Amino acid sequence: MSGYMRVIMLIIKTSVLFSRCYFRHNRGVFMSLFRGFGLVGALFILSACEPPQTAPIVTTPLASDTESDRPSGEATDDATEAAIALLDTTEQVTASEDQSEASTSDESSQEASKLDPSVSYLNQQSDPAATKPNLQVLDQDIFSDTADQGNPLNSLQPKPDDGQDEIDSAIEWIFSGEAEPSQSGATSEDIAEPPFDGNVDGNAITSLIDDGFDYDSLEDVFAIISKPQIENIITSPSSRFPPKQALLTRAAVLLPLSGSYKLVGEELRKAVDMAVISLNRPQFEVIYIDTAEKPEEAAYAAVAADADIIIGPVFSSHTAAVAPIAKEHQIPVLSFSNNSAVTNQNVWIMGQQPEHEMEAVLSYAMASLAAIDQIPAEQARIAIVTNDTAYGRILRDVSINHLKTAGVTQISQLLLNRSVLKNEARLQLSIKQFARWSEEDPTPEFDMVIICGDGDFTLAVAPVLVWHDLDPAKVRFVGSSQWNRIDMITEPSLQGGLYATIPTEKRQLFEKVWKTYFADAPGDLAPLGFDAVAVASLMTADVSVNEVLLRDKGFAGFSGVFRFYPDGNNQRHLEVRQINAYKSAIVSPADTTF
C-alpha cells in the first residue's frame, strides 16, 4: 500500500476512534483526540510533500496497547498502532493536566470548607420528556473524569451481575405495587449470614412508588453520569445554589458531612444518591447541606435555596433546632430521628421508634407467657432492669404502661447508672440484691426480665443476671432492636431472648441492592435514607405534603411497612425474633398492611 493510502486509512480509523470516544469520554479525552487528530493531519501534509516511494511512518505501540484491549475481529496495521499509541500518550498528558487542576481546586475547596459548611448539589434532569436521570455539575457543561475523593458518588459504579434478575424482580414489585414475584413467606435464618432467596412477603403491601422503578436503566444512567462537585459556602446563602426550576420539587438533605459524625452522614448520603438515581424522577432534585457545626444555619440555607421539603437532620437535637425555622417558612421536615419529643404537625420522624419495639415484643411475650407457661398477666412477676439514660428510661416507661394495661401488677425495677456499671463489684451486688438470690433457694423470683438499654448495657448486665440464677432457660428475657446484632445473638446469656425489629427480609434485599453500587456494607440508617427520598419524591406542585405523608395505606419500603400520623409520629409493622442456638429466628412475622 502506498504512503498516501496508509495515511488516508490512518485518518479514517482515527475518525472512527474519535466518534466513539466523543460520547464515551470526558473533556480531557475529547481534547486529547483533537490534538491527536491534528498531529495525524500534520503527518498527512508531510507525506504529501514526500515522494511516493518513501517508506511509511512506523511508531512502536505502547506496551499497554495489546490485542486483548481491542474489540475482537478488528483488523490492525502499523499505522493504526501508531495512531492508538499517539492518542494514548496525548490522553495521559491531558489527564495529568486535569488532575493537577483538580488537585489545586480540591486544596482551595478544603481551605474554604474550614470557614463554612460544605454543600454539594445533586440534580436530576429537569426536562419532563427525559427518560434517564442526569446528575448535572454546576458551571460545567462537559462531563469530567476528574477524581473527587470526597464524594460518595465516586463509588457508584456498576458491579458485576450477581443475582441481578432476582434484584430487579423484587425491587420492581416493592416499588410498583404489583403482585409478588415468587413464593412468599418470611424465613427464619441466621442473622449473621442472611441469605437472599428472592422471595418478598406480602401480596397486599401498599406501594411506595406509584409509577414504577426503572432499575433496568441503571447501566445507561452510569454511562452518562457526572460526579457532582462540592461547592464551598463562602458568600451569602442565596448564592449557594442555582435557582430552582419550575415544576421541580427540591429536597434539602441535612446531614453531618463533616465533624465527629461524618461517617453517619456519608452513609446516608450514599443511600440518598442511590435513591435519586434508582427512582429516576425527573421532577425531583436534592441538595446537600452540612449540619455538623450549626444546624440553624443549615436550615436557613435550605430556606434560601427555596427547598420544598427538608430530609434530615439525623439527631433529635439538630431536628429541634431546625424545626422552628422550617415551620416559619412552611417547609415540612422529614427527620431521621426516632425521638417523638421533636415531632409536631410540621416535623415527621422516619426513625424506628423504641416505643413501638417494646409494645410489639411485649405483646408477644405476654401472650406466650400465658399460653405456654400458663401464667396469666395478673400473676406474672416482671423485672425491669433499666440503664439510667434517656433511651433506657423511654423503654422502661413504655414497658410499664404496656404491662399495666395488660393487667400486670407485680413489677420490680432496678435503675443502674454509669458509676455502678463501671464498678464490677457494685454491679454484682446490685443485681444480687435485686434478684433476691440465695444459695439455699436458687429458684428465680421472676417470670420475665425486661432489659431497657442499648446493646452495650445489655452485654454488661445479662451475664450477671444469669449468674444469679435468672437463667434464660427459666426466665424470658426481653429487649429492644439493639439485640439485632451478631455480638448479641452469639451472647450465651441472651439465648431464648425476644426482641422486635423491622422485617429482616427487607433488610436483606436492601443489602443486595446496595452491593450493586458500593463495596462496603450499609449501616442501620441507610434504608431510612432511601425510603425518605422515595417518600419525598412523591411531592409535586399539585400534591401537598399532607396528601403524600398522611395517606392511610402508608408505604412499603426497604425499612418495612410504615405510615405517618398528623402529630409527626410514625407507625411501623415489626417482626418479633427469638435468639436460639446462636441464631435469630422469626417467631411473629410483621403485618404487611395497615
More confident residue, 60 or 72: 72
Rounded Cα distance, 82 and 369, in Å: 82
Residues 348 and 213 in one domain: yes
SS3 411: strand
Phi, psi (5° rounding) for residue 296? -65, -40
Tell me what percent of the residues of the chain surpass a pLDDT of 70.
60
Q: Is the pLDDT of residue 24 over 90?
A: no
Q: Is the pLDDT of residue 69 over 60?
A: no
Q: Is the pLDDT of residue 71 over 50?
A: no
Q: Write the CATH number for 363.
A: 3.40.50.2300
Range of the domain at 164: 118-352+506-575
Q: Check residue 345 and give its pLDDT.
A: 94
Mean pLDDT, rounded, for 65-74 = 36
Q: Give tens-digit pLDDT for 482-531.
A: 999 999 999 999 999 999 999 988 888 999 999 999 999 999 899 999 99
Q: Check residue 440 and give its pLDDT.
A: 76
Q: Check residue 130 and give its pLDDT.
A: 33
**Least confidently predicted of 97-101, 532-536, 575-579:** 97-101
Residues 162 and 200 in one domain: yes
Q: Check residue 35 and give its pLDDT.
A: 53
Q: Give tens-digit pLDDT for 436-453.
A: 877 777 788 999 999 999
Of the candidates 313, 265, 206, the one whose C-alpha atom is nearest the C-alpha of residue 560 is 206
- Ramachandran region of residue 121, left (φ > 0), alpha (ψ -120 to 50) or beta? beta
Q: Which value, to the nearest 10 degrees, does the dihedral of the CA atoms of residues 507, 511, 512, 516 take?
A: 150
Q: Check residue 17 and give its pLDDT.
A: 54
Task: Tell me, rounded to whole angstroms, the distance of Cα 483 from its chain centroid.
Answer: 21
Give the number of other Cβ atoms within 10 Å of residue 237's Cβ: 17
The residue among 485, 501, 517 that closes a domain is 501
Per-residue pLDDT band for 5 (boundaries 50, 70, 90) equals low
Instruction: Indicate yes or no: pTM above 0.85.
Output: no
Mean pLDDT, rounded, for 73-79 = 39
Q: Give tens-digit pLDDT for 519-560.
A: 999 998 999 999 999 999 998 878 888 889 998 899 999 999
Q: Check residue 139 and give its pLDDT.
A: 26
In a domain, 581, yes or no: no
What DSSP element (H or E) covers 3?
helix 3-24
Mean pLDDT, rounded, for 285-305 = 93
Residues 267 and 124 in one domain: yes
In a domain, 584, yes or no: no
Q: Check residue 505 and give its pLDDT.
A: 87
The residue among 501, 524, 556 that closes a domain is 501
Q: Check residue 129 and give its pLDDT.
A: 34
Distances (CA, A) of 274 to 125, 207, 247, 514, 529: 16, 19, 23, 8, 9
Residues 289 and 416 in one domain: no
Rounded Cα distance, 271 and 255, in Å: 12
Residues 126 and 257 in one domain: yes
Residues 314 and 383 in one domain: no
Residues 135 and 25 in one domain: no
Mean pLDDT of the chain: 72
Q: Is the pLDDT of residue 156 over 80?
A: no
Mean pLDDT, rounded, for 155-172 = 46
Q: Check residue 37 and give its pLDDT.
A: 54
Q: Give tens-digit pLDDT for 210-228.
A: 333 333 333 333 333 333 3
Q: Is the pLDDT of residue 316 over 90?
A: yes
Distances (CA, A) of 408 to 377, 383, 404, 413: 5, 11, 5, 14
More confident residue, 142 or 483: 483
- Tally of structural domains, the chain: 3
Q: Is the pLDDT of residue 302 over 50?
A: yes
Residues 362 and 458 in one domain: yes
In a domain, 13, yes or no: yes
Residues 293 and 359 in one domain: no
In a domain, 224, yes or no: yes
Q: Check residue 471 and give its pLDDT.
A: 85
